[in-house]
Amino acid sequence: MATEAAPEWLDKGDNAWQLAAATLVGLQSVPGLVILYGSIVKKKWAVNSAFMALYAFAATLVCWCLWAFRMSFGDRLLPFVGRPDLAALGQDFLTQQGFAGAYPAATLLFFQFVFAAITLILVAGSLLGRVNFRAWMLFVPLWLTFSYTVGAFSLWSPNGFLFRAGVMDFAGGYVIHLSSGIAGFTAAYWVGPRTAKDREAFPPNNILLTLAGAGLLWMGWTGFNGGAPYAASIDASVAVVNTHLCTATSLLVWLFLDILVFGRPSAIGAVQGMITGLVCITPAAGLVQGWAALLMGVASGSVPWFTMMVLHRRSRLLKRVDDTLAVLHTHGVAGSLGGVLTGVLAEPRLCRLFFGDDPRYVGLAYAVKDGRAAAGLRQVGVQVAGIAFVAALNVVVTSAVCLVVRMVVPLRLGEEQLAAGDDAIHGEDAYAVWGDGETYEQSVHGNQGYPMTSNPMSSKAEEMI
């Protein structure tokens, strides 16, 4: 029987899956990317890199609840953005049925938050090793407000102009990955490069933990793409299988290319191939058949490999911009590739499961087979137009945000901080190895149990005891 806590419109199974999927996506960021970022960088940047991810997660949640969720999915203000308000803070809004799915708006708010948060954290991947943390603190809410909300509303909101035009972005190939790749590269241009020494040698401080963080990212994608249908449905199951099939294929292709060209298998290279596979399948996960997911894995393991390992080294522009973790290639290129391949390989029946009975949604390969080549060409054209919009939006808005932040605080750390890293920025080291002369003397939180007479906090604590 329906109750106030479980009204007739509530599907408990769908609600449970959606909350679980959101939690899986959240785990991709915290601790997934916190671990990955803190491990894949040089030791002196471990704390700063991990902390950038943790800060972005927290700051995004507050801004999301205050205004960004409604700008992304609320009442239309403009064709590309919603009207900001404080509705998401009230129980009347949170307990009513959301705009999609058979569960409350509170579930949708949480599910969409973790997507917004991971997007900001992906942008951070381009800036590791030199961005001013205070500048990052300002960048996160500004970019969320003026870039992410526009992309999310345009592509995912039922009122968005790209959604109405028929762009297919199943789980965020455009909204999350393409936008973070372009925004990260643009921000890296304005922030400037790492020191010459760091660019020449930037070894991971812990490859085993890098792999652990990558594993959390991979398995968390079950919720990333599996939650996109907003229901525990057949399409969710198809999306999950396609996600892992494409990812495994992409990893193997990247690995084989590394062996073929460089003569040895690279663990970090395998992680890159894993990420490009996850990104490429995201806009198509529930819209393509298994053979198509396999084909996309081959493409995502080879095309971004070529742009990163070959084209990047030949391009003056690409070499000029210091994109620390190559987010442009792993997310921008892979996301664009996935978007175009979605327009080619999307299967009509699976499109109906996700979009409903709308004949516009059909991949070019199936449209040609059915004698509807014009519809397929239109879909590919719409996919390309979506890529152009997201890319242009993020170049313009990210540049504007960086210029505004630069008026308040420097975007790049000073030379002394760049040379010292974590200890100069946070007064904390990732690994307190006494043999290296590293201590927590500068941290107000790391002195317990150590007789550090040089820190005035120690003598005050002794007096109180």
d(CA 395, CA 194): 21
Q: In sequence order, what are the residues at sequence separation of 6 or more whose Cβ sits closer than 8 angstroms to the Cβ of residue 222?
A: 21, 24, 240, 243, 244
Q: Please tell me the predicted confidence (pLDDT) of residue 444.
A: 54
Contact 342, 283 (CB under 8 A): yes
Q: In sequence order, what are the residues at sequence separation of 6 or more whose Cβ sits closer than 8 angstroms to the Cβ of residue 364?
A: 343, 344, 373, 376, 377, 379, 380
User: pLDDT of the chain along its 465 residues, tens only?
Assistant: 788 888 899 999 999 999 999 999 999 999 999 999 999 999 999 999 999 999 999 999 999 999 999 999 999 999 999 999 998 899 999 999 988 889 999 999 999 999 999 999 999 999 999 999 999 999 999 999 999 999 999 999 999 999 999 999 999 999 999 999 999 999 999 999 999 999 998 999 999 999 999 999 999 999 999 999 999 999 999 999 999 999 999 999 999 999 999 999 999 999 999 999 999 999 999 999 999 999 999 999 999 999 999 999 999 889 999 999 999 999 999 999 999 999 999 999 999 999 998 989 999 999 999 999 999 999 999 999 999 999 999 999 999 999 999 999 999 999 999 999 999 999 888 886 654 544 455 555 554 444 444 444 444 434 433
Q: Phi, psi at residue 359, to the nearest 5°?
A: -65, -10
Q: Please tell me the predicted confidence (pLDDT) of residue 3.
A: 84
CB atoms within 10 A of CB 65: 17
Contact 283, 174 (CB under 8 A): yes
Contact 145, 177 (CB under 8 A): no
Segments in 409-454 forming alpha helices (H): 415-420, 422-426
H/E element holding 82? strand 81-82
d(CA 132, CA 410): 7
